[in-house]
Every structure is written in structure tokens, then in C-alpha cells.
Chain A
Amino acid sequence: MEFFADLIRTSPLFLEAAYITVKITLVAVTLGSFIGLFFALLKISKSKILNKIANLYITIIRGTPLIVQIFWIYYGLSSIVQISGFWAASLALAVHNGAYIAEIIRGGIQSIDRGQMEAGRSLGMTTRLAMRRIILPQAFRRIVPPMGNQFIIALKDSSLAAFVTIAELFNVSMRLASSTFKDIQFYSIAGLYYLILVILFSFLVHKLENKLAVGSSGMK
């Protein structure tokens, strides 16, 4: 019962923190998608050098822990420019997610039949136009499920921003836990908030998938 009392008592704090968690995640995934698209295009380009650049980026990001990347960007960037903790953490998460999203987008693009690009080119389209009008819209539909998955991972990973003093969910629960010594209690509450956010978001992705599925069959 005490759990519920605490849950209710701390809800203004946690809701505020949940809002920051969602904000970091949204910024990270949005920026990360642009970064991902950029590196996906490098990876499928015909230029060997561009391929290598993309591979290097993906290897470094996948080969080092996220917390190290967050510290790199947080301490590295703040020694050069003035940057808030929020933006440093979001940026770090964006750079991190960009590598995974690049692979998701590349997979999506390469899953589209080669004949589609060929048909576009045969109509006089430039590669760029065919990519934008023909390939990417089709790849998008296939990318939605794995992107939803990546978003969920990003949401949970954003808890590491706690260690660069961002008052997001995990950070708030850490502070409450250490000031009250009710560790299990407050970490469980944080877990509950994450769980609710993930379920909410999964539901939204599912709806989007259904909506996109309608588009390509039957009549308009």
C-alpha cells in the first residue's frame, strides 16, 4: 500500500521526468533518422570511399558502449561549445541511434525490387528523383516496424542520460531512492513509467502499420 501512496505522492515529479524522457527520445530518434538516412545512402552508394566512411561510423558506434558515447559528447562538446545537458544527451543518443537506423533504412531500401529503380530510370527520372518518389516511399512501409522497435530501445536507453544530470525518469528515481533509502520502491516506479510509455508507443506503431497496409491494396 505504501507503494501506491508513494506512486501517487511522487507522480508530479515523475510525470515531469517522463516528459523529459519522451522529449529526449523524440529528438534522438528524429535527428537519428536523418543521420541514419544519410549514412544509409552512403552505404548503398557506388563510391567505395563513401561506403568506407559509413562502415567506419557504424563500426565505432556499434563497438562502443552508449554510456561512453554520451560522456564523449557531453564532456567533449561542452569543452568546445556551450551546450545544455539536454542537448548533449539528445545528440549523443541521436548519433548512437543513427548507426542502427542507418542499417534499418539500408535494409529497407535494398529490399525493394531492383526493377523499381529501373522502371523509374527508364521514364527519364534521375537516380535521386527515383529514390525520393519511388524507392523511399516503399522502403518507408517496410521500415516502420523495425523503426518502432528502435524507438523503444532508444526510449529505454535514454535512461543513461541520468548520468549526465538530466532530470529524466531514471535520474529522478535515483535521487528519490538515495534520499529515502527506498531503492526497490522508486526504481520499480521508474520501471512502471517506462513500461507504460513502451506499451503506449507500441500501440501507436501498430496503428500506423495498419494504416499503411491499407494504402497498397484495393481501391483508393
Chain B
Amino acid sequence: MIKVTGLNKHFGDLHVLKDIDMEVQESDVVCLIGASGSGKSTLLRCLNFLEQAEGEINIDGRIIDRKTMDLNILRRDVGMVFQHFNLFPHMTVLENIIEAPIHVKKIERQQAIAEGKELLEKVGLGDKVDCYPSVLSGGQKQRVAIARALAMQPKLMLFDEPTSALDPELVGEVLSVMKELAQEGMTMVVVTHEMGFAREVGDWVVYLDEGRIIEVAPPEELFNNPKNQRTQEFLSCIL
């Protein structure tokens, strides 16, 4: 469904992503792991065209050309969830969710509200519709952010360390929403330090080191007998 070939990204003199080749099949859950600064966020942002990079990105068999295609339209099909939630603080929970469906997709307001409430039920926040984000806990904020991304009915969901900013006791509620999504067949790319999640939900684990993909394997294989020495070292540090 999405295929990346020869992706390179520079920030000035800094070579952040090096010859990335990667493929994500429909309904796959791909977990990206790697040390801080290895380029995980940058790779995710490239997949959503928030970052401009050299190389080829192929979606559903079409090569994406920045010059001729409207990236805003492409972005509608890709949901993104951030480490720090990035909810819109001047809007209520429901307004956060219906904002893009109404103003980007031009859906009827009534319909957007009905769908939005349904999504909030789904992430277990049906009673928070009229709250402002400032009164929610981190876990609740992140679930709203997931619902907000889902409201655009994306084909692909990107998660950038969705639980890293949460207190340990709130991590579970967010992961269980993500797990449910995976079970429903959502295609997901998840940057995470939650190895338990990667092991249980991931179809593939990608290990990134200094901007290079070092190893790709199903979780059992990568965690139990990593082929590459750098992967072994990294895993021994975090497991």
C-alpha cells in the first residue's frame, strides 16, 4: 500500500535518513524502533509529506510527485498521532474531532457530529464531548487525538511515540485503543518504545540506527534472535 525507495533526508549538513527502503502492506502494523535521534520521527513525517525528502514514495501503486499532486489531499488519507497530542486547545473535544471533516472534507455538520460522537464512544470518551482538552488526562487527550485522526477515515495511521509523554498508569488505555484498531485491520506505522506492544500487535519491527534501516523482521524473530549486532546491542539496552 505504501512503498518507499531510496529515501534520503538532509537537514542542512545533517544526513538524517539514508537510503531508506520500506514497504507497508495493507492491514500491516509496522513498529519502528531505534535510539533517540535515529530519525524515526523524520521518517514518519516523510510518509505524511510534512517533510520534503529525496527519493520515491509510492502509494497504492502511484508514485507521488510533489509538483503535480496536491499533498493536502493525500494527507487526508493518512492520520497522524503525535507524542504531545497537539489537540486544539481552543476547541472542545467534539470540535477538535469534527473540525477537519467539516472544513477539509466538507461533510454536513450534523453528520460530522454524529460520527464524531460515535468515535468518542469507541475510544471510551463519550462523556467528554463538551470538555476542553485542558481538563483531560494525558491518556484521554491521546485517545481524543486518535479519534480526531480517525474522523478523516484514513487508510493509514502514523503514531509517533503516542505513549511516551504519558504517566505509566495511563499507557495501557491508549495501547488498548491502538490494539483494537489493529485488530480491525487498520494499516499502522508506530514509532514506539513499548516492546510489549510491538511484540503483541506488530507484524513487522523495523530497527533504525543513525538514519539507516538495520534490520526488518517479525517481532518474535527480531526480539529473540536479532541477526545484526547493532540490533542486539540496542535490544540488550532496552529489554
Contact = CB atoms under 8 A, between A and B. Distances in A.
A218 B86 contact: no
A216 B75 contact: no
A141 B105 CA distance: 28
A218 B134 CA distance: 7
A217 B152 contact: no
Interface residues of A, number: 23
Nearest to A112: B89
B25 interface: no
The A interface, classified by DSSP as helix, strand, loop or mixed, is: helix
A63 interface: no
Contact of B134 (A123, A133, A137, A217): A217
Contacts of A129: 103-104
Interface in B103-125: 103-105
Contacts of A23: none
A127 to B, nearest CB: 9
Contact of B76 (A123, A133, A219, A220): A123
Given A129-B104, A216-B134, A124 B82 contact: no
B128 to A, nearest CB: 9
Contact of B100 (A123, A219, A220): A123
Contact of A115 (B73, B76, B86): B86
A121 B99 contact: no
B65 to A, nearest CB: 18
A111 interface: no
Contact of A125 (B79, B92, B103, B148): B103
Contact of A122 (B79, B84, B92, B135): B79
Nearest to B95: A220
A31 interface: no
Interface string A197-218: 0000000000000000001111
Contacts of B92: 220
A203 to B, nearest CB: 25
A122 B88 contact: no
Contacts of B82: 115, 118-119
B78 interface: yes
Contact of B88 (A121, A134, A215): A134
Nearest to B78: A122
Contacts of B131: 218-220
A122 B130 CA distance: 23
B149 A123 contact: yes
Contacts of B78: 122
A126 B71 CA distance: 9
B132 A133 contact: no
Contact of A119 (B86, B130, B134): B86
Given A121-B50, A129-B103, A217-B134, A115 B84 contact: yes
A122 B80 contact: yes
Given A118-B86, A216-B89, A123 B148 contact: yes
A124 B152 contact: yes
Contact of A137 (B76, B90, B148, B149): B90
B130 A123 contact: no
Interface in A102-135: 113, 115-116, 118-119, 121-126, 129, 133-134
Contacts of A138: 88-90
Contacts of A137: 90
Most A CB contacts (10 A, CB to CB) among B50, B89, B149 go to B89
A216 B90 CA distance: 5
Interface of B: 48, 50, 72-73, 75-76, 78-80, 82, 84, 86-90, 92, 99-100, 103-105, 130-132, 134-135, 148-149, 152
Given A116-B86, A123-B99, A124-B105, 13 more contacts: A113-B86, A115-B82, A122-B149, A123-B104, A123-B152, A125-B100, A215-B90, A216-B90, A216-B132, A217-B132, A218-B135, A220-B92, A220-B130
Nearest 6 pairs between A and B by C-beta?
A124-B76, A119-B86, A123-B100, A122-B80, A115-B86, A220-B130
